[in-house]
């Protein structure tokens, strides 16, 4: 039986289609809805995410795998058909690259504030605010300069992705600052012990960040992209030794 507007199924189809789209949208966005979950659960999820990212950044790829990983990143590991370069990467290396794509700035912010607070406590009272501001600005301004330099050299790394890596790699220097501060509270340490701790943190931070940034910069331009990283962590190390 047909109505004046046409067959009955023609009128029912749009309603069914709309219902299907709404169901799919609910199913798609349900896992990401945090409006009904407890605040503590939201905070702990972010804390766990920071911990995972910190582990990934501080245990980067081997330098021997950098060229293979660069080719894999350039051709994208998310393709339906894996490329020859991506097939040569281990499963762990693939996870490292994928984790790097999911950037965040919570971890770098916490590490930056931690380093700034530690050094401001160790500084003279009348210079505490100045030291805090200097460390905070050095981390973010320095990271921005390194990122812009890499992008001007043709690097494919995104702005916030680079800031994420550089910020997380401040972690070894933050550990060095904490160790130096604790030892000075307990015993009066020698300058050479402080220098060794800062040197280890500097090498660790520089190595980790340079390996990741190398994935997104052509081989013939890597030195130009990486030497600002050296000066960036050198300045932070100098601040730790100075205060």
In percent, the amount of the chain with pLDDT more than 90 equals: 31
Q: Which of 28-37, 95-104, 162-171 has the highest mean pLDDT?
A: 162-171
Please report the pLDDT score of residue 154 as a whole number: 86
Q: Quick: pLDDT tens for 197-242.
A: 999 999 999 988 888 888 788 888 888 888 999 999 999 999 999 8
> How far is Cα 236 from Cα 111, in angstroms, rounded to an integer?
13
Confidence band of 145 (pLDDT split at 50, 70, 90): very high
Q: pLDDT band at residue 155, thresholds of 50, 70 and 90?
A: confident
Average pLDDT score over residue span 137-147: 94
Q: Which residues contact 72 (CB under 8 A, 6 or more apart)?
A: 83, 85, 86, 88, 89, 94, 97
Where does 2-124 show beta strands of DSSP type E?
2-3, 6-7
pLDDT at 92 (0 to 100): 59
Distance of alpha carbon 116 from alpha carbon 130, whole angstroms: 10
**In 3D, which of 124, 160, 150 has the Cα closest to residue 242?**
124
Rounded to whole angstroms, the Cα distance separating 121 from 74 reads 45
What mean pLDDT do residues 149-169 have?
A: 89
- For residues 105 and 111, what is the distance between their CA atoms, to the nearest angstrom? 10
Residue 14 or 37, more confident:
37
- Across the range 101-114, mean pLDDT stands at 88
pLDDT at residue 56, as a whole number: 74
User: Which residues make Cβ contacts (< 8 Å) with residue 60, sequence separation at least 6?
Assistant: 96, 207, 208, 211, 212
What's the full length of the chain, in residues? 243
Higher pLDDT, 115 or 39: 115
What is the pLDDT, as a whole number, of residue 237? 94
End-to-end CA distance of the chain: 88
Is residue 128 over pLDDT 70? yes
Residue 6 pLDDT: 52
* Cβ–Cβ under 8 Å, residues 198 and 173: yes
Encode pLDDT of 49-98 as tens digits.
788 778 777 776 555 544 444 444 454 434 433 333 334 455 656 666 66
On whether the CB atoms of residues 8 and 2 are closer than 8 A, the answer is yes
Pairing of the two strands 6-7 and 2-3: antiparallel
d(CA 192, CA 190): 6
* 3-class SS of residue 6: strand
Choose the most confident range, by mean pLDDT, from 3-17, 38-52, 128-142. Answer: 128-142
Q: What is the mean pLDDT of residues 121-136?
A: 90
User: What's the pLDDT at 69?
Assistant: 46
């Amino acid at each position: 039986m047909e109505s004046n507007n046409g067959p009955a199924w023609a009128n029912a189809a749009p309603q069914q289609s709309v219902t299907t789209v709404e169901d799919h949208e609910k199913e798609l966005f349900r896992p990401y809805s945090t409006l009904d979950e407890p605040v503590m659960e939201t905070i702990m999820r972010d804390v766990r995410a920071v911990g995972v990212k910190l582990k990934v950044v501080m245990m980067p790829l081997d330098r021997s795998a950098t060229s293979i990983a660069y080719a894999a990143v350039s051709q994208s590991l998310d393709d339906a058909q894996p490329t020859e370069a991506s097939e040569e990467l281990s499963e762990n290396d693939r996870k490292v690259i994928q984790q790097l794509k999911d950037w965040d700035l919570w971890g770098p912010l916490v590490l930056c504030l931690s380093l700034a607070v530690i050094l401001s406590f160790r500084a003279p009272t009348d210079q505490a605010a100045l030291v805090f501001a200097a460390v905070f600005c050095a981390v973010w301004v320095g990271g921005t300069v390194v990122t812009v330099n890499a992008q001007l050299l043709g690097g494919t790394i995104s702005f916030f992705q680079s800031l994420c890596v550089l910020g997380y790699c401040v972690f070894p220097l933050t550990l060095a600052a904490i160790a130096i501060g604790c030892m000075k509270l307990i015993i009066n340490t020698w300058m050479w012990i402080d220098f060794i701790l800062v040197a280890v943190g500097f090498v660790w931070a520089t190595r980790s960040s340079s390996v990741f940034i190398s994935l997104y910069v052509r081989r013939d331009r890597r030195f130009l992209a990486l030497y600002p990283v050296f000066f960036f962590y050198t300045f932070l190390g100098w601040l730790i030794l100075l205060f």
